[in-house]
């Protein structure tokens, strides 16, 4: 394909609707905004859950219980098989090494090491949490699992 053969996509750039240009345009006088009221004013925009003045659904329904979502501690998960694949024998594996390897997003996030897969190398791993199987696999290879305070 050459640059002179590229054409515009039909309908991708629709013509702007010019309002207030007389009766014949179909959008004269009130410009499609109706008469008076909130919607006729400049800057009018209805909130997302607005139901025309009717009590919104989220306010009609009863609220019950407690949701821990905003208080829950979220961990980034790393498996021992990933550690085995990316790190060499006898390596100190900390948060900065995990970030460098692309296993976690940032050094500020909390990390939990899980025991999925096999570990064949001696690694000294430092993380916020370890599963029992991960701890066993790391220690059985002669490595250590240190918990960050």
Note the pLDDT tens digit of each residue in 48-100. Answer: 999 989 999 999 999 999 999 999 999 999 999 999 999 999 999 999 999 99
* Stated pTM of the model: 0.59
* Strand pairing category for 129-130 and 75-79: unpaired
Q: What is the pLDDT of residue 20?
A: 95
Confidence of residue 1 (pLDDT cuts 50, 70, 90): confident
Hey, what CATH class is 75-147 in? Answer: alpha beta
Give percent of the chain with pLDDT exceeding 90. Answer: 87
pLDDT for the residue numbered 149: 79
**Alpha carbon distance 136, 39 (integer Å):** 66
Indicate the SS3 state at residue 102: coil
Q: What is the largest CA-CA distance in the chain?
A: 86
Question: What's phi and psi for 134, nearest 5 deg?
Answer: -65, -45
Pairing outcome for strands 129-130 and 92-93: unpaired
**pLDDT band at residue 32 under the 50/70/90 scheme:** very high
Average pLDDT, the chain: 94
Confidence band of 134 (pLDDT split at 50, 70, 90) = very high
Q: What is the mean pLDDT of residues 117-128?
A: 95
**Residues above pLDDT 70, as percent of the chain:** 100
Q: Where are the domains of the chain?
A: 19-64, 75-147
Asked if the model's pLDDT at residue 132 lies above 90, the reply is: yes
């Amino acid at each position: 394909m050459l640059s002179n053969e590229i054409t515009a996509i039909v309908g991708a750039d629709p013509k702007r609707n010019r309002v207030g240009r007389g009766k014949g345009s179909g959008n004269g006088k009130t410009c499609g905004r109706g008469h008076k009221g909130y919607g006729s004013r400049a800057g009018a925009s209805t909130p997302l859950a607005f139901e025309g003045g009717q009590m919104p659904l989220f306010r009609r329904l009863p609220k019950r219980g407690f949701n821990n979502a905003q208080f829950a501690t979220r961990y980034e998960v790393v498996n021992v098989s990933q550690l085995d694949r990316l790190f060499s024998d006898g390596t100190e594996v900390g948060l900065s090494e995990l970030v460098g390897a692309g296993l976690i997003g940032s050094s500020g996030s909390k990390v939990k090491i899980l025991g999925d897969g096999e570990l064949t190398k001696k690694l000294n791993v430092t993380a916020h949490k370890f599963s029992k199987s991960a701890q066993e696999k790391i220690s059985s290879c002669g490595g250590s699992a240190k918990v960050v305070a």
